Amino acid sequence: MIDIKFLRENPDIVKQNIKNKFQDEKLPLVDEVIELDAKIRKIKGNVESNRALRNKLSQEIGQFMRNKEVEEANKKKEEVNKINALIEAYDLELANLESELKHRMMIIPNIIDKSVPIGKNDSENVERQRFLEPTNYDFEVPYHLDIIEKLGGIDLDSARRVAGNGFYYLIGNIARLHSAVLAYARDFMINKGFTYVIPPYMIRSNVVDGVMSFAEMDQMMYKIEGEDLYLIGTSEHSMIGKFIGQILDKSNLPYTYTSYSPCFRKEKGAHGLEERGIYRIHQFEKQEMIVVCEPEDSMKWFEKMYNYTVELFVSMGIPCRTLECCSGDLADLKVKSIDVEAYSPRQKKYFEVGSCSNLGDAQARRLGIRIKGEKGNYFAHTLNNTVVAPPRMLIALLENHLHADGSVDIPEVLWPYMGGTKKLEPVK
């Protein structure tokens, strides 16, 4: 959410930012916010002047009562009662106007960083850098479900009967590999100085409103019927919510966490063959990284964070690249975002396996996360990044370490987490 003072003083910058994100339908919101803000400030002025008048009258009543001028005192009391009724009406109007203002402010997209490339959608994202040479085979790489089934590692039919489409049973060594990747990612981030956390898997609606836009919430979140609770789509949601309403001590910054959680997503819309199987699912597990820091440090952390993900994938021998998200592909709260994509030998192209985002003070402003400063409190900056999400990441690992006979080499860094197993063999 943008600072109302910034919007009030720079409406043209806010409007240009909306145009840069190709959301012209939101342009009228800027003028609506300015109009509402002016009404609110005028009413607040009226409230203050009436309160000052009430205080003056109260003093006069006290003087009349001391002088035993009861009739005059009662007249002043009637005036005070009228002022109280007027202030009450003003307060009610203020509450309605401030609610309208907040609703519009939460729809207006955050100001993107100047370095973000301008583009309409993800087809205009810009490649930054590639790591490791793409894996090329002299045999046809099977569909990822066929690879896993040959290894005896998945049961989708039973999952459909139990929960429907978009769910799975991982079995045997594939299930173990899934857990090994998570454990390795956890230890990898702990060795980078991050604190390991297991957060709540459900959050209240006020936290949902604080961490994401309305559009994202509708597309992602599962609501618990009859409860003010939502299943998290990523541990970022509850990890940033951890700081709601807090005033942070500068000496404790930055907060650097790596959090594990299951994730639950609606995943609306139709998707092609390659995005079925275990690529786009309703339930998965993920290791995340979260940073809450000083505003001037957020871009330095942003660069560190996505490079940690690259380092992790390279350590497992998986070719990958970084892709800068263009303006039209950025979610409304984001200032800047980099996707990490792994190479798929089957598709002969890269696909997303993680995303690193700097949200500036947008989440902190919504959730009231401030830093205690010498000249007053100010909003923190928040960042999040996928360390690894194994179901999708398994596709990259299996494809990039596959042999023609269907066996798969396990990267050396995962051997300790696999009980020394170095290779997965097809089951009969």
**All domains in the chain, ordered by first residue:** 4-105 (1.10.287.40), 122-424 (3.30.930.10)
Instruction: Determine the Cα–Cα distance for residues 207 and 421; give it in Å rounded to an integer.
Output: 42
321-367 pLDDT, tens digit each: 999 999 999 999 999 999 999 999 999 999 999 999 999 999 999 99
pLDDT score, position 20: 97
- What's the whole-model pTM score? 0.89
pLDDT score, position 268: 54
Q: Find the angle CA(419)-CA(423)-CA(428) to the nearest 5 degrees.
A: 110
pLDDT score, position 65: 87
pLDDT score, position 166: 85
130-162 pLDDT, tens digit each: 999 998 899 999 999 999 999 999 999 999 999
pLDDT score, position 276: 59
Point out the residues of the chain with pLDDT beneath 50.
Answer: 269-271, 273-275
Paired residues of 155 in beta bridges = 169
The region that residue 317 occupies, defined by phi over 0 for left and psi between -120 and 50 for alpha, beta otherwise, is left
The region that residue 137 occupies, defined by phi over 0 for left and psi between -120 and 50 for alpha, beta otherwise, is beta
Instruction: Determine the Cα–Cα distance for residues 402 and 7; give it in Å rounded to an integer.
Output: 54
